[in-house]
Amino acid sequence: MIRKNGPQRWKNIHVTIDQPLEDLIDIDNSNLQGIKLDTFGILNQTSKDINDLIQGAKSSKKQLKAIGSGWALSKIHVTDHYLLNTKLLNKCFEIDDQFFHQDFAEDKRKYIVIAQCGISIAELNIYLELPKVANQVPRSLKTAGIGAGQTIVGAVSGNTHGAAINFGAIPDFVVGIQLCNGTDQPIWIERSTYPVLNQNFVDGIQSKLIRNDDDFNAALISFGTFGVITAFAIETEPIYQITYPTIFQINHTKLSSIFQDSNYYSGLHHLEFIFDPHTQDGYHMIEGTKVKYEDGHPIPTPVWIITSRKGYAPGDWTTKFLLNLPFVSAAYKSKVQYKEYLKRSVLSNVRGTSGQLFTATITYLEGYNETAFAVSIQDAIKTIEIIKQETKNAKLPLVIQARAVGPGNAIFGFTNHLPRSVVFEFGIVYDKNYPIFEEKLISRLVASNIKYTLHWSKNALINPKRMKEMYGESNIQKWKSSRYKLFEHDMDLIRVFDNAPLILAGLESPPIVV
């Protein structure tokens, strides 16, 4: 059912966005008749409600965006017209054998689930790892970011990445997409090279089937611009644990040799390192190896929690205030931050499932931004040198976290660098220095001929020139062609899903017809 909450101000979870809205619309799985619906019934009710909302937005010439958990730091998923809260659409479904494509391997079928758009990563972990039905096998997500509060569609659409060096990012376990875009029927999209579900399933969800690699890879990371994604088919795997030895420190030379040696990381599941850019040398390595699930290991204590056992935590403005303190050097502030990060935010000497290890949902620092970009692992050392120089020049207190990710297939996947991507992330006070520093870093990367890509959910400075630098003209045209094709070239519908960041990036315009 739909509930319209009317005009109001809206803030994202990290309060980097604070803006007025014309309407905030809640949608849930209930119905007035109080009837318990089956899988198809729920999916069909949702897609019909959403298609009606899109049609309404089209006729009143308004923009509409699904906000997920409001986790993104950039305005990529936001409009000041209608925001759709999908978090109440949090069901997960199993699929009967009769609905699988004949070519889809039988032994893999029990690892496919349908996740509704609003289910959070934390909820999904619980659904998969702790099945409530006796004959259901426990399963795990193939990868996860550190946060578990994002909705599955939000995490995929903004390319949440994690650190699965030999797999990929979160979008890379999606194998089917249900998209509502206001055309006559919802669309079910799969790769032509990887068919999973059959026509009976597509008929059951009253959708039209598109099997096309380009369309799938375009829609996968489309940050709400292709319509509202109402459900995904995701591929999971038998439940596993990740074991992390005690973190250890290495020097610049050793780090450099690791990046050049694929044998070093070929057996790892998770590769991450952190450093204080104000120090000359020294990197803490966080390495996780995938191991068979075993009962009896101690339950990991959640990390990334800033609240003490007694409930004390920095107030909403404290971190900003402390990091802006005059007369205290940026190097000293970084040192203190780094020490705290090591204490509170590092997986060390621990073993657990994905759902037990990646749990950052509990507290957040308001007004504290994060920025992230990826480069090839082969350019990582040069990038570290640039980051260190620019951080010192800007006198910024930062802790740099770097996570290695395997390449995927999404057209706008920012973690597709070969042979692996290294994503550099750093929390930074959200003030006027943030865009200046980000701009400076990007210009240094360009000047050094380092191919970079910006995180869709964390960076706002994406313009047409940058798009071309990051993805190349042919990929941009491919993405635009799929977008226009899926909207059946209905310009009024396309405009419903435009927003300011899309226009700034030059992605709203039609593809060039060759």
Partner 1 sequence: MHTTTKLILAYNLEIKPSFAYQSSHQVVSKVLFSIYLVRQRVQINFQHFALLLLIIFSAQSCTTVHVYQTGGPGGREMGNAPSTEWKSDVSNTFLYGAIRDDVPIENCALGDGTRINIEEIKIEKNIWRIGLYIVTLGLWDSSKISWRCAKPCNP
Binding stretches for partner 1 (CB under 8 A): 1-3, 5, 10-11, 15-16, 18, 24, 26, 28-32, 34, 67, 69-70, 85, 87-88, 90-92, 118-120, 122-123, 125-127, 129-130, 132, 148-149, 299-300, 302, 315-317, 320-321, 324, 352-353, 355-356, 359, 361-364, 367, 429-432
Pick the closer one to partner 1 by CB: 207 or 361.
361
Q: Minimum distance from CB of 496 to partner 1 (Å)?
A: 21
Q: Minimum distance from CB of 118 to partner 1 (Å)?
A: 8
Q: Minimum distance from CB of 438 to partner 1 (Å)?
A: 15
Give CA separation, 10 vs 38, 75, 159, 397, 509, in Å.
Answer: 34, 12, 23, 29, 28
Pick the closer one to partner 1 by CB: 68 or 407.
68
As separate numbers, helices (DSSP H) first and strands (DSSP E) second, the chain gives: 16, 23
Pick the closer one to partner 1 by CB: 8 or 249.
8
Pick the closer one to partner 1 by CB: 178 or 356.
356
| CA torsion, ordered 342, 348, 351, 356, to nearest 10 deg | 10
Q: Minimum distance from CB of 131 to partner 1 (Å)?
A: 11
Pick the closer one to partner 1 by CB: 130 or 503.
130
Q: Position 5: which residue type?
A: N
Please give the angle made by the CA atoms of 111, 112 and 115, to the nearest 5 degrees: 125
Pick the closer one to partner 1 by CB: 195 or 302.
302
- Residue 494 phi, psi (nearest 5): -60, -40
492: three-class secondary structure by DSSP: helix
187-190 and 208-211 as β-strands: parallel, antiparallel, unpaired? parallel
Asked whether the beta carbons of 273 and 254 are under 8 A apart, the reply is no
How many other CB atoms are there within 10 angstroms of residue 127's CB atom? Answer: 21
Q: Minimum distance from CB of 352 to partner 1 (Å)?
A: 7
Asked whether the beta carbons of 267 and 288 are under 8 A apart, the reply is no
473: three-class secondary structure by DSSP: helix
Q: Which residues contact 456 (CB under 8 A, 6 or more apart)?
A: 72, 74, 76, 157, 158, 159, 221, 223, 412, 414, 462
Q: Minimum distance from CB of 283 to partner 1 (Å)?
A: 28
Pick the closer one to partner 1 by CB: 319 or 475.
319
Structure tokens at 161: 């990445």
Pick the closer one to partner 1 by CB: 119 or 219.
119
Pick the closer one to partner 1 by CB: 129 or 172.
129
Which contiguous run of DSSP H or E holds residue 274?
A: strand 270-275
Q: Which residues contact 163 (CB under 8 A, 6 or more apart)?
A: 143, 270, 271, 272, 288, 403, 404, 405
Q: Minimum distance from CB of 313 to partner 1 (Å)?
A: 8
Q: Minimum distance from CB of 78 to partner 1 (Å)?
A: 12
Q: Which residues contact 228 (CB under 8 A, 6 or more apart)?
A: 50, 54, 64, 66, 84, 86, 117, 179, 180, 181
Q: Which residues contact 176 (CB under 8 A, 6 or more apart)?
A: 114, 188, 189, 190, 196, 197, 232, 233
Pick the closer one to partner 1 by CB: 69 or 453.
69
Q: Minimum distance from CB of 170 to partner 1 (Å)?
A: 17
**Bridge partners, 243 (sequence order):** 289, 351
DSSP string for residues in 430-456? -STHHHHHHHHHHHHHHHTT--EEE-T
499: three-class secondary structure by DSSP: coil
Q: Minimum distance from CB of 381 to partner 1 (Å)?
A: 33
Pick the closer one to partner 1 by CB: 180 or 429.
429
Q: Minimum distance from CB of 427 to partner 1 (Å)?
A: 13
CA–CA gap between residue 171 and residue 143 (Å, rounded): 10
